[in-house]
Amino acid sequence: MQTTPEGRLRTQRELALDGGLGEDAASARAFREEIVSSWRRCQVVGVVPAGQDVPYQPEFERPNRLLRAAEPVIDRLAEQMSEGPVSILLADSEAQIIDRRPGMRTLEKALDKAMVAPGFSYAEEFTGTNGIGSALEERKPFVVSGAEHFRDNLTEFTCIGSPVRHPITGSVEGVLDVTCQVDETHGLMKPLVLAAVREIESRIYADASRREQMLLERFVRASRRSTAAVVTLNEDVVMANTAASGLLDLSDQAMLWDWACRILGTQDEYTGEITLSHDVVVQARATRVGERGSTAGVVLEMRPRQRVDGGCSTARPGSRRRRREPDSHRDALPGRSVASVRLRDDVEAAIAADRPLLVCGEPGSGKLFVASHIHGRRSPGESLTVLDAVASHDDPDAWVARLTVSIAAPGTVVLRHLDDLAPAVAARVAGVVEQVEGARLLATAHGRGGQGPADRVLDHFPVSVTVPPLRYRGEDIADLAPHLLRAQGMNRTAPRLQPQTLRTLVTLDWPGNVRELEAVLSTAAVRSLGSDIGHEHLPPEYRSAGRSGGSSLRRAERDIVLEALAETQGNKLAAAERLGVARSTLYRKMRLLGIDEKHLPAAGRG
């Protein structure tokens, strides 16, 4: 029978987690209220005490701002506690561990076994009550020792975590945690953590002040020498002169930062056109601001593009634009990216062709939406019938019969997922389709090029347009979001996306395309209770700080360099020529971006 205090706590823990978390339960009263509250949260989201799975991301972007401030502090702590009984952990704002200093070998092995290591997420909703995730939930220092952990495999540890806040914005940048085995717990651990956090926050303040001073100086300099609309921004700060304030909407801020990050991937300055909200086109010059190897932000100087008639494409600088009246042709296919502009041009050409049309694209990219738009343009007021070819597998004869009837009736017919047509009826469907004249017939498919019987039916659609995947048009999210939210019945109270939320969404890959974005926005809208959608309202897996904000510019630059090296089979001279930089510059970029020459493709000489 267990008689030690820790043994008795473990017994009370088992009773409490078996259903005794009520306020009157003696087992629950044995623990601090903040621990019991955390346990209740864990039970609500379905965390299992006996579970051992921990979300893991093998490759992740480490938040540079937090690391710049924290690494010197934890380096010193690790040196002072070398081979000691404690481990120092640093996690990002989503509770993913990004650095670990393990301490003595026995503790390192125990942490490895419990998967307390870089890449693993210790958000409370995934891994229960713990020093990292619970500190984030409570937004304050949090101590979890032994039996206070929700999960069984963590009860051998004591964890003391404290949020690291940005001293200017107040946002949580991450968590510093000190962990040891229960029998090594010491009363000085919490003061040690709090002192280290204060030092990290002080370093963040100094770093932010220096970066913001650099931005301010460049902003003032650009505003004095130019009558253009001037914006200076980074992931946290936006400075705009009067002309820019009248030119930009809230959604433009996040879009401009993402655009600048991508366009300045391998250069310090770029001039080109960019489309703002409401189809306002400006000529923009983007210039990187920062020191060697470090980016403080970007300064943008923008002038509205001149129209052919000599006027400007927007209202005069300094005056707030009136929102233009909806244009059914353009608003039905929202988006400001180059890919969306090309799609609209292709759609206009397809409508003019007046022939059976195939709409291609990845799953979830919006093919049916585009097909419906084309129908509305070609045959306004007429009926639209959608037949899903997937259903042809269940009852082929009935599906072909329905197709024949639909073709004979007035209106437009859309054959959805036509490349998934049952092979047994492909020839019969082809016979029906080839009899159709004009533009009454539309179809959607992943694309041409297959060799099966169903793919041969696609040959009967002589005209096609391709809907680009969302990952190629991230800047369209600002325009897509209002449409998707209104489509969910939020016409009058559709929430807006806060700038940080939009910045995060723009940086994601979206393998599920617009359908995935719609699901995320629907979830976020419910969580926001009708208010503007903040970063905290996104599902946890969509709000990773490492995938947005300050890392965007570095990630974009790294991607461009790696792409050039891949296209040239690792030949650095050819890659430098492709990028338009000197070979010495490419070598320097590779070192700064952490690109390992040993892992490049086989290279030619040079």
Residues 473-531 have pLDDT tens digits of 888 898 899 888 888 765 456 788 887 788 888 878 788 999 999 999 999 888 888 78
pLDDT digits (tens, 9 = 90+) for 534-579: 888 888 888 764 443 344 555 556 667 776 777 677 788 888 877 7
- Strand order across the 294-304 sheet: 238-240, 229-233, 294-304, 281-291, 269-275
Percent of the chain with pLDDT over 70: 85
The rounded distance, in Å, linking the Cα atoms of 95 and 124 is 8
- Tell me, what's the pLDDT at 195? 95
**What is the homologous superfamily of the domain 338-467 according to CATH?**
P-loop containing nucleotide triphosphate hydrolases (3.40.50.300)
Report pLDDT digits (tens) over 496-511: 888 778 888 887 878 8
Q: Is 142 helix (H, G, I), strand (E, B) or coil?
A: strand
Which range, 145-159, 453-467, 484-498, 501-515, is most confident?
Answer: 145-159
Rounded alpha-carbon distances, angstroms, from residue 445 to 64, 222, 518: 42, 50, 21
Give residue-wise pLDDT tens across range 253-295.
Answer: 777 877 787 777 667 888 888 888 777 888 899 988 887 667 7
Domain spans of the chain, in order of start = 1-31, 38-205, 210-304, 338-467
Q: Structurally, what CATH architecture does the domain formed by 210-304 represent? A: 2-Layer Sandwich (3.30)
**Rounded mean pLDDT of 455-470?**
88
The C-alpha atoms of residue 593 and residue 558 are separated, in whole angstroms, by 6
Higher pLDDT, 265 or 102: 102
Q: Can you tell me the mean pLDDT for 375-394?
A: 89
User: Would the pTM count as exceeding 0.85?
Assistant: no
Of 53-62, 105-114, 381-390, 397-406, the range with the lowest mean pLDDT is 53-62
Residue 603 pLDDT more than 50?
Answer: no
Per-residue pLDDT at 293: 61
Residue of 182, 205, 180 lying closest to 193 (CA atoms)? 180
Residue 327: how many other CB atoms lie within 10 Å:
9
- Going by pLDDT thresholds of 50, 70 and 90, the confidence category of residue 25 is low
- Which pLDDT belongs to residue 602? 47
Contacts of 225 (CB under 8 A, 6+ apart): none
More confident residue, 311 or 234: 234
Please determine whether the domains at 38-205 and 210-304 fall in the same fold group of CATH.
yes
- If you average pLDDT over residues 406-420, what whole number do you get? 90
548/538 Cα distance (integer angstroms): 14
pLDDT number for residue 134: 94
78: left (phi over 0), alpha (psi -120 to 50) or beta: alpha
Give the tokens for residue 106: 């026995």
Residue 448 scores a pLDDT above 70 = yes
Sheet (strand 441-445) strand order: 384-388, 412-416, 441-445, 357-361, 463-467
CA atoms within 13 A on the CB side of 369: 19
More confident residue, 587 or 412: 412
Instruction: Quote the pLDDT of residue 352.
Output: 87
Q: Which pLDDT does position 27 carry in this prediction?
A: 67
pLDDT averaged over every residue in the chain = 82
Give the pLDDT score at 593. 64
- pLDDT class of 109 with cuts at 50, 70, 90: very high
**Residue 314 in this model has a pLDDT that exceeds 60:** no
Query: How many percent of the chain have pLDDT more than 90?
Result: 29
Comparing 179 with 102, the larger pLDDT belongs to 179
Confidence of residue 320 (pLDDT cuts 50, 70, 90): very low
pLDDT band at 328 (very low <50, low <70, confident <90, very high): very low
Whole-angstrom Cα distance, residue 453 to residue 593?
A: 48
Q: What is the pLDDT of residue 335?
A: 84
Superfamily classification of domain 38-205: GAF domain (3.30.450.40)
Are 237 and 261 in contact by the 8 Å Cβ rule? The answer is: no
Q: Is the pLDDT of residue 583 over 70?
A: yes
Confidence of residue 75 (pLDDT cuts 50, 70, 90): very high
